[in-house]
Structure 1
Amino acid sequence: MKLIGIEEHTLTAEVRDAWNAIDLASADPSVSIHSGGIERRLLDLADERIALMDETGLDVQVLSLTTPALHDLGVESVGLAKRANDMVAEAIARRPDRLEALATLPVAMPDEAALELERCVLSLGFKGAVLCGRVGHRNLDHPDLRPMFESAAALGVPLLLHPRTPAPEVRAAYYSGFSAEIDAAFSMFGLGWHYDAGIQFLRLVLSGTFDRLPGLQVILGHWGEVVLFYAERLAVLDRFSGLEHPVATYLRRNLYVTASGMFSPEYLARAAAIVGADRLLFSTDYPYQYRPGCDARRFLADCGLDEADRTAFAHGNWLRLTERGGGPTISGSRITDHR
């Protein structure tokens, strides 16, 4: 059974150097975790990556730039994004049987980001794009950022909403008071990352993004970034939201959910109950969740799904989601059908 991991990360030396040039680590502690063996595996797009895929049992990795991506960079991010995407495209050309990609976008420049997404999908064959939460002080539902979402909807490709570290003032209020190491971990992979990503998705819902763009599809990792476990409470918002549909509709119509290496049958069952088994995607969250001897196929075999749903989880849902690419696209004020 073909096994495709759709949240598998990369980094380029140029992006790392751009983070260091603005001392981003002082504002976002996630920059500091990209070191040692983690950094080596992020930078590698060849032998070690493929060998560890074989060890884990993963047939295909869908590559995406790791958090915080280019969200804290300005006009220089346009060139950085293009070069990062071209580098990944070259790696895919060497191993098209093992690698796919989500585009890196210069998100601080939304019009340019929309065009780069179009280039990556139509010229490079990428499957969508990754966004890492806030752009500066703007949440993803900010009107300035709409061109990226409009482009994704017109292209018919998904956006992975990846976690990023909460804003410094949020960390100070909720994730501080221990040692520097505990504060940082608490605000990132301990919990803060996941609340932040889930909130970004809910802001898209509550802002009416999916009413304006009903075909837009987004992906949340880590079994829905906490959101799915509070679906009953979120339903209370229906009384106040003024949206066209209940929140539950957007969870089943516009959201896909992936494992991100959290190999829990219980979490899988909860996600399937909320979004449907046809919206579950596999991923290992490489290299962060890589552990020697960790067997993705063992989890797949024991996950509790029947054969048809297990096949869909392993690869079928991803193939169905991404076969939409190559549809109408936005270019300036024009919509062009490339099919």
Structure 2
Amino acid sequence: MHLIGIEEHFLTPEIDRAWRSLGLEQTDPSVALHAGTWHGRLMNLADERLALMDETGLDVQVLSLTTPALHDLGVESVDIAKRTNDTLAAAVARYPQRFQALATLPVSQPEAAALELERCIDELGFKGTMLCGRVGSRHLDDPALMPILAQAESLGVPVLLHPRVPPPAVRQAYYGGISPALDAALATYGLGWHYDAGLQFLRLVLAGTFDRLPRLQVILGHWGEMVLFYIERFAAMERVASLSRPIADYCRANLYVTASGMFLPHYLARAAAVVGHERLLFSTDFPYQYRAGGDARAFLERCGLAGRAKAAFAHGNWQRLTRGAGVS
């Protein structure tokens, strides 16, 4: 069965240098995580990556820039994004049966980002884009960032909301004071990343973004970044929110959910109960969740789905979601 992973990451030397020229490794602990074996795997868009895909049983990777992407860069990110997307397009052209792509955007320049997204979809054949939460002090529901989301809706392509580290004040207040290593872990892959990404989606709902952009489709990794497990509790906010529909309805109409390498059948079952089987997507969160052996294919076989539901999870839902984007 054809298996497509929709959250699979890369990095370029230029972006790595740009992060370090800003000193981001001092302020964003996730930058320091992109080291060692992970660093090499992020940089590789050829034989090594393909070999690891074969080992785990993945047929296609949908490539996206790893966190924190270009969210902390300024006007220089416009040209960096174009060069990155051209590099990515070349990789897809070399291996069209193995790679697809999500656009890298200069998000601090929203109008330029909207234009670059249009170029990536219409000219380069990309499938959507990925955003890493806050842009400076602005959350994704900030009106200044609306051109990016409006462009995605207009083009009919999804937006993957990827985690990024919470701001320093939040890290100090909620994730600090244990030890430097544990503080960083707790604020990133331990918990902070996932609360932050889920919060971005919830803010989009509460701010009425999906009422204004009803066709916008958003993807959350890690089985919904906590959101799906508290959907009943979120309903209490409907008393004070000026929304057109119940909060759960936005999850069923505007949200897709992917595994991100968390291969747990009971999490899949919970996600399906909230958003429906037609909104489940497969992913391995390469290279971070890579494990030796055929674990991706093995999870597909034991995930609890069969027949059309299994095929939809493996590839069909993604193909349907992106059928109007780029080239097949």
Give 1:71's aligned amino acid: H
For residues 110-144 of structure 1, what are the alpha-carbon distances to aligned partners after superposition, in whole Å with 9 as ceiling and x for unaligned? Answer: 00000000000000000000000100000000000
- Cα distance in 2 for residues equivalent to 1:186 and 1:30: 11
Q: Percent identity?
A: 67
The reply on whether 1:289 has 2:289 as its aligned counterpart is: yes
| Alpha-carbon contact 2:57-2:294 (below 8 Å) kept | no
Query: Given residue 94 of structure 1, which amino acid in structure 2 is its aligned partner?
Result: R
Superposition CA RMSD, Å:
0.7
2:66 aligned with 1:66: yes
In the alignment, residue 303 of structure 1 is paired with which amino acid? C
Which aligned segments of 4 or more residues in structure 1 are displaced greater than 6 angstroms?
Answer: none
- 274-283 vs 303-312, which moves further: 303-312
Matching residue of 1:193: 193
Counterpart in the other structure of 1:256: 256
Cα deviation, residue 325, structure 1: 2.4
Q: Which residue of 2 aligns with 1:207?
A: 207
Residue of structure 2 equivalent to 1:162: 162
1:13 aligned residue? 13
Q: Following the alignment from structure 1 to structure 2, what is the Cα–Cα distance between the partners of residues 50 and 293? A: 14
After TM superposition, give the deviation of residue 294 of structure 1 in Å: 4.6
Determine the C-alpha separation between the residues in 2 that align with 1:87 and 1:136.
26
Letter in 1 for 2:113: A
Map 1:223-234 to 2 at 5 A: 223-234=223-234
1:281-335 deviations in Å (ceiling 9; x for gaps): 0000000000112521110011011211000000000000001326xxxxxxxxx
- Tell me the amino acid that sits aligned with residue 232 of structure 2: E
Looking at structure 1, the residues matched to 117 and 125 of structure 2 have their Cα atoms a distance apart, in angstroms, of 10
Q: Which residue matches 1:335?
A: none
**Which runs of 5 or more residues in structure 1 are unaligned?**
327-339
Letter in 2 for 1:66: T
Which residue identity is paired with 1:271? Answer: A
Opposite residue 209 of structure 1, the aligned amino acid is T
Which residue number corresponds to residue 115 of structure 2? Answer: 115
Partner of 1:30: 30
Give the aligned partner of residue 333 of structure 1: none
1:108 CA displacement:
0.1
Contact 2:4 2:61 in 1 (8 A): yes
Give secondary structure in 2 for the equivalent of 1:274.
Answer: helix
SS of alignment partner, residue 129 of structure 1: strand
In structure 1, C-alpha distance between the alignment counterparts of 2:178 and 2:56, rounded to whole Å: 36
Residue 194 of structure 1, CA deviation: 0.1
Kept in 1: contact 2:255–2:275 (CA 8 A): yes
Matches within 5 A, 1:311-322: 311-322=311-322
One-letter amino acid of the structure 2 residue matched with residue 252 of structure 1: R
TM-score by length of 1: 0.95
Q: What residue is the counterpart of 1:183 in the other structure?
A: 183
TM-score (norm 2): 0.99
Give the distance between the partners of 1:29 and 1:298, measured in 2 at CA: 32
Deviation string, structure 1 residues 196-244 (Cα, Å, up to 9, x no partner): 0000000000011000000000000000000000011011111111100
CA–CA separation in structure 2 for the residues paired with 1:90 and 1:282: 24
* In 2: Cα distance, 1:97 partner to 1:294 partner: 20
Deviation at 1:83, TM superposition (A): 0.5
Alpha-carbon distance in structure 2 between the residues aligned to 1:247 and 1:323: 27
Q: Is the contact between residue 140 and residue 200 of structure 2 (CA under 8 Å) also seen in structure 1?
A: yes
